[in-house]
Structure 1
Amino acid sequence: MKTINTSQGIGGQLTEFRKLVDKSGKITFVGTAGFCTPFAELMAFVLRKTDKKMAFIPDLKFEEARSIVSTSHGMQVGDSTNPHADTVVLLGGLAMPKTGIEAEQMKEMTDRILDGSDEKLIIGVCFQSVFQKMNWTETIDFDYIIDADLTNELLEV
């Protein structure tokens, strides 16, 4: 792996994501229900004015795929949709040990989502290198990983 760019903050993360999916037609995010859902909606927000189709799959529940649509409240999970896509975005919550999801299971899911697509792109979006730490990079053929670190300060004023 080599670093191709460094940016800061959520804005930097979203800018890098938007650049990576510039040529994508349909993007399917896969993440844990609840925890990853808002991250998928946030990332989808930078694409709201494009003609890209987007979907979200909770955990490994392919049949529960929902569209991600622009609303007056921002991007939100909508109706059931076909999750087949040319781009898969795996969110880091999936790789956390407490989910019990193995890299092999996620590779099968990415293959299923990308089945029939001529162009195939797999992007990981995570914090604190969770995909690397859990060895998912040895099983899943990521094209890119957007890896961020979080620093939190609790201030009493």
Structure 2
Amino acid sequence: ELSGKGQLLRIRTECSANPGRRGRAAPLTRVLLTFKSPVELPGGSSARHKVREETEVELSSADSFARILDALGLRPFFRYEKIRSTYVLPMAARWARGLLIEFDETPIGNFVELEGSPAAIDRAAKLLGFSPAQHILANYGQLYREDCLRRGVPPGDMVFARRWK
């Protein structure tokens, strides 16, 4: 089992919220298969950053690949939805090259994810007003289970009550 090894295989469907100029073009949809290696925590339990290698490939169909995984005996164990807005700092901020600032709206709240080098993450977090004590290393599955426990409800999938269009 992948989760027992700290690994993850994810099928992600991305839908662009920007339909193009003057709303004429159809929204873009991409399907990505991502393999995530086990998490490394440089610095052990006091780590403020997690390092995880990701390998992605674009797929033509989420449903077709899900059927392949099912035929191989792999079953989904958690589904979640989020609305993500991704930002980058201006080119003049050379220290931030390669840094992604991602704002995620989820059914359990809003989160900021910073992806980049540890130095860039620390600097951006400080500029955004976050202290090191506010860094969260848990994934959405862990955060969702904690939220369900707090609310006294059984965990299922972390999806919005209504579908976003």
* Relative contact order higher in (CA < 8 Å, ≥ 6 apart): 1
Structure number with larger C-alpha Rg: 2
The TM-score, its normalising length taken from structure 1, stands at 0.28
